[in-house]
Chains A and B, each alone.
Chain A
């Protein structure tokens, strides 16, 4: 860990250094990525692996380019479901966490069922939400994504809201602050690091939930449908290309949440950049 550059650093130099450091941080991961792809390509060619077992990266990229309009519309379709489910799931779980933090007794009554619900394999919910909201619309897939997202966000938010140091609360009580003030000024800000790490997990889960939801019955446009259909028809490059699109979109959602975290939590020690 380098020593923290304190405020007085002139901006351009500081920024250049920061960009340099970022590149330095990313370099190992980038190198591994390039190496892995090269190895993959090389092995597929050297051993002449059947394309239904593992298509070469170059073949997948070709398909990505050829089928871009199909994949793009599928990606947008599924991404909308994922974002919808993410938003619904996160809002509901954060509201639930706020209620459970306020009325602790409620937690004892509710948490066992939340844990039980979380133990049900998510795929089992898919036929049910199709039944409830209709299989061909986005709502049923959003529901799957929302359910998948709900539990981790609930648990982390609740932990964040309740693991405030007792002296932090005592201080606010010494100012005769009411529950709402304590919530707004202390509990929520100190829960933010927990909430954001939950949201990052949830962002990836939401995309998984949407794709899983689409596996049974869904619009033909959807990415999940495309993956399944292509695999059944033996078009494995297309299936792989759709998987790549799904992952890239999942990562994009993750990155958006991470960016939001940086913007809202500039105060946090971890935002110094040297951790």
Chain B
């Protein structure tokens, strides 16, 4: 695996939040190759969301460097090298489904005809054909998240960043969207970085799982997921699946033990606090 070809390359990335001086990330080293689906998993407050935002140039690291497609993360953001999906779908109520999906295309200056054609393709991809002129509040949570994924993929970015995208959904919907995400991943060839706190979800989806520990946020280990592709409903029943789930869980436990047990303000709160400054 060469660092030059990597879609994402993190070298010595650290992040200290000024407020409270909490070390959210410490010395993160990680390279993600084209076509991979890498999950970041860890307890809440381990910095996984912060790490995703460092890759997306939405949070500046205190030390170290994040590179995306061989460029600085900043340049990659300016070049629109990634699409992002948040835990809440972040759809704009004043735009209907079609217009939410085509928002990035408008910003890129695509003309109306090209946008409409692309929106139709994407609606088909996420199985929402016919919902184009619905408003976000008329959709279920799962449907909203599918719109959000379609929007992130609209301009075919080489990288998709996903921050606990299915965390707020019920188990049934989550499993269905997991399958859908894998299908989209296979057809689009996009590299995906996927933040989750569900071990089963991480193992089921990923080619590799990066296990993080909290305070300071570190990568406690990387588990290679050698389950056969494509993954199906049966994948979840294979003995190897359970072995890998156990392996990830063991890493999480090991990380937990080594981390300072003192209760500190959560990373999310600090993140918001810094944002307000």
B135-154 vs A, CB cutoff 8 Å, 1 = contact: the mask equals 10110000000000000000
Question: Is B260 on the interface with A (CB-CB < 8 A)?
Answer: no
B92-108 vs A, CB cutoff 8 Å, 1 = contact: the mask equals 11111000000110010
Determine the residue in chain A with the shortest Cβ distance to B58.
Answer: A170
Question: Is B42 on the interface with A (CB-CB < 8 A)?
Answer: no
- Asked, given contacts A185-B103, A267-B135, whether A167 binds B94 with beta carbons under 8 Å apart, the answer is no
- A sample of 5 cross-chain residue pairs with beta-carbon separation below 8 angstroms, ordered by A number, consists of A170-B53, A174-B83, A175-B107, A190-B94, A267-B135
* A166 x B83 contact (CB < 8 A): no
Residues of chain A with a CB closer than 8 A to B95's CB: 267
Contact among B84, B135, B137, B138 for A171, CB-based, below 8 A: B84
Cα distance A166–B53 when bound, in Å? 13
Question: Is A6 on the interface with B (CB-CB < 8 A)?
Answer: yes
Determine the residue in chain B with the shortest Cβ distance to A173.
Answer: B58
Listed in ascending order, the chain B residues whose CB lies under 8 Å from chain A are 53, 56, 58, 77-80, 82-84, 86, 88, 90, 92-96, 103-104, 107, 135, 137-138, 272, 275
- Asked, given contacts A170-B58, A173-B58, A174-B77, whether A181 binds B107 with beta carbons under 8 Å apart, the answer is yes
Known interface pairs A165-B90, A168-B92; 17 further A-B residue pairs with C-beta atoms within 8 A, sorted by A's residue number? A165-B88, A166-B275, A167-B86, A170-B84, A170-B86, A171-B90, A173-B58, A173-B77, A174-B58, A174-B77, A174-B83, A176-B77, A185-B92, A189-B94, A265-B94, A267-B93, A267-B95
Q: When A and B form their complex, which 7 residue pairs have the shortest distance between CB atoms, in order from nearest? A: A189-B94, A267-B94, A174-B84, A167-B86, A176-B78, A269-B137, A167-B90
Contact among B79, B80, B88, B137 for A167, CB-based, below 8 A: B88
Residues of chain B with a CB closer than 8 A to A174's CB: 56, 58, 77, 82-84
Question: Is A262 on the interface with B (CB-CB < 8 A)?
Answer: no
Cα distance A202–B272 when bound, in Å? 33
- Which of A240-275 touch B at CB < 8 Å? 265, 267-269
Q: In this complex, which of A174, A190, A192 has the most chain B Cβ atoms within 10 angstroms of its Cβ?
A: A174
Residues of chain B with a CB closer than 8 A to A265's CB: 94
* B80 x A176 contact (CB < 8 A): yes
Cα distance A111–B82 when bound, in Å? 39
* A189 x B137 contact (CB < 8 A): no
* B92 x A189 contact (CB < 8 A): yes
Cα distance A168–B58 when bound, in Å? 12
Residues of chain A with a CB closer than 8 A to B78's CB: 176
Cα distance A185–B106 when bound, in Å? 11
- Which of A1-48 touch B at CB < 8 Å? 4, 6
- Which of A92-145 touch B at CB < 8 Å? none
Question: Is A177 on the interface with B (CB-CB < 8 A)?
Answer: yes
Q: In this complex, which of A175, A181, A189 has the most chain B Cβ atoms within 10 angstroms of its Cβ?
A: A175
Residues of chain A with a CB closer than 8 A to B88's CB: 165, 167
Cα distance A158–B54 when bound, in Å? 30
B70 to chain A, nearest CB (A): 18
Question: Is A186 on the interface with B (CB-CB < 8 A)?
Answer: yes
* A6 x B94 contact (CB < 8 A): no
Residues of chain A with a CB closer than 8 A to B80's CB: 175-176
Residues of chain A with a CB closer than 8 A to B275's CB: 166
Residues of chain B with a CB closer than 8 A to A267's CB: 93-96, 135
- Which of A149-190 touch B at CB < 8 Å? 165-168, 170-171, 173-177, 181, 185-186, 189-190
* B93 x A268 contact (CB < 8 A): yes
Cα distance A166–B58 when bound, in Å? 11
B148 to chain A, nearest CB (A): 9
A179-220 vs B, CB cutoff 8 Å, 1 = contact: the mask equals 001000110011010000000000000000000000000000
Cα distance A267–B96 when bound, in Å? 8
Residues of chain A with a CB closer than 8 A to B137's CB: 269
Determine the residue in chain B with the shortest Cβ distance to A272.
Answer: B137
* A269 x B93 contact (CB < 8 A): yes
Cα distance A176–B75 when bound, in Å? 10
Residues of chain B with a CB closer than 8 A to A166's CB: 272, 275
* A6 x B103 contact (CB < 8 A): no
Cα distance A4–B135 when bound, in Å? 13
Residues of chain B with a CB closer than 8 A to A185's CB: 92, 103
